[in-house]
């Protein structure tokens, strides 16, 4: 409890300083504030750890994100980030409406496997109407249908050493020389959470390309950037430090927090 109070005071002081010096005018300011060298970033890393612990402590592992009624679905589902991947593999699969797509699940598990979209659709499914919050400050409410990740994990039988599920995606985010593959990771607690699904349907239709076809992650207690679209492969790992920038996700490698709890 003492730690909580102290961290909270630090939070208030630093955020007041940060806010006073920068008019809040949307993404640019936010991006500057979370640049790796920024003092605000240091505070956010601390606060992130605090949020993570506090949320887990107060709500417990199985707490559900709020679900909404059909009538509350709003704003369509604004596409963001990559919306039209142009890697050869993706364009090839898209031509046949992903009939040749296979989700590969491997890494630290006893029975690595791959499944077609039809096979995934024939697994137990879950539908949920949830709010998507992007770090840029907008949100949408949409209906998602997919297979619980817990079901897929039960099929591959994770080894005891598996601590994270890494989602490798088809898109290279931000084109040009600086483009890098999008990827994300969550821990096994979120991986087994009942609302964590691999979605192939949105608002009662097939998941559109803009929103991540053929398969995207929904991990409802975290921010939008955790919800990997265009999933090609899931890898179970003990650590993600050897992958890409080592921070567990595309945006994490650019300075965002790994745990983006809301
Ligand atoms: N593969 C991939 N997944 C991604 C992104 C991306 O650029 N590529 N953008 C993320 C961000 S920042 C958000 S807010 C959501 C946007 O999902 P939407 O396009 O369905 O709105 O996807 C996330 N997942
Ligand atoms: Mo986002």
CA separation for the pair 88, 130 (Å, rounded):
33
30-86 pLDDT, tens digit per residue, is 444 455 555 555 666 666 777 766 666 666 667 899 999 999 998 778 899 999 999
Question: Which numbered ligand comes closest to the C-alpha of 167?
Answer: 1
Please choose, from the candidates 158, 152, 129, the residue with its C-alpha nearest in 3D space to the C-alpha of residue 66.
Answer: 129
Name 172's bridge partners.
181
User: Is pLDDT at 5 greater than 70 in this prediction?
Assistant: no
The angle formed by the CA atoms of residues 163, 167 and 172, to the nearest 5 degrees, is 145
Q: For the chain, what percent of residues have pLDDT higher than 70?
A: 77
192-237 pLDDT, tens digit per residue, is 999 999 999 999 999 999 999 999 999 999 999 999 999 999 999 9
Q: How close is the Cα of 175 to the center of ligand 1, in Å?
A: 15
Ion ligand 2, residues whose Cβ is below 5 A away: 134, 224-225
Question: Which numbered ligand comes closest to the C-alpha of 80?
Answer: 1
3-20 mean pLDDT? 42
Report long-range pairs for 56-62 (Cβ below 8 Å, ≥24 apart). 56/189, 61/189, 61/193, 62/193, 62/194
User: Is pLDDT at 97 greater than 80 in this prediction?
Assistant: yes
pLDDT band at 174 (very low <50, low <70, confident <90, very high): confident
Q: How far is CA 38 from the centre of its chain?
A: 24
Domains in the chain with CATH codes? 2-254 (3.90.420.10)
- Per-residue model confidence (pLDDT) at position 59: 65
The reply to whether ligand 1 has any atom less than 6 angstroms from the CB of 82 is yes
Residue with tokens 């290279």: 172
CA separation for the pair 83, 97 (Å, rounded):
16
- Per-residue model confidence (pLDDT) at position 176: 67
- Burial class for 15, CB neighbours closer than 10 Å (0-12, 13-18, 19+): middle
231-260 mean pLDDT? 97
User: Is pLDDT at 18 greater than 50 in this prediction?
Assistant: no
As a whole number, the mean pLDDT across the chain is: 85
pTM: 0.82
Report the nearest atom of ligand 1 relative to the CA of 169: 1
């Amino acid at each position: 409890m003492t730690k909580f109070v102290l961290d909270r005071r630090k939070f208030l002081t630093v955020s007041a300083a940060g806010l006073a010096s920068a008019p809040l005018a949307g993404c640019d300011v936010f991006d500057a504030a979370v640049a790796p060298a920024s003092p605000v970033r240091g505070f956010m890393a601390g606060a992130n750890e605090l949020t993570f612990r506090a949320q887990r402590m107060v709500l417990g592992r199985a707490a559900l994100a709020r679900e909404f009624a059909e009538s509350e679905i709003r704003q369509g589902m604004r596409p963001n980030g990559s919306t039209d991947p142009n890697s050869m593999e993706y364009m090839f699969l898209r031509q046949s409406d992903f009939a040749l797509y296979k989700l590969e699940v491997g890494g630290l598990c006893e029975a690595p496997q791959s499944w077609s979209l039809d096979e995934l659709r024939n697994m137990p499914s879950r539908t949920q109407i949830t709010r998507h919050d992007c770090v840029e400050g907008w949100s949408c409410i949409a209906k998602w249908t997919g297979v619980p990740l817990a079901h897929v994990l039960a099929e591959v039988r994770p080894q005891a050493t598996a601590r994270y599920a890494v989602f490798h995606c088809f898109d290279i985010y931000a084109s040009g020389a600086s483009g890098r593959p999008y990827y994300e990771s969550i821990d096994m607690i979120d991986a087994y959470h009942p609302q964590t699904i691999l979605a192939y349907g949105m608002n009662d239709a097939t998941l559109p390309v803009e929103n991540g076809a053929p398969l995207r992650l929904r991990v409802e207690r975290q921010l939008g950037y955790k919800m990997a679209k265009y999933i090609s492969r899931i890898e179970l790992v003990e650590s993600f430090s050897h992958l890409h920038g080592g921070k567990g996700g595309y945006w994490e490698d650019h300075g965002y927090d790994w745990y983006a709890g809301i």
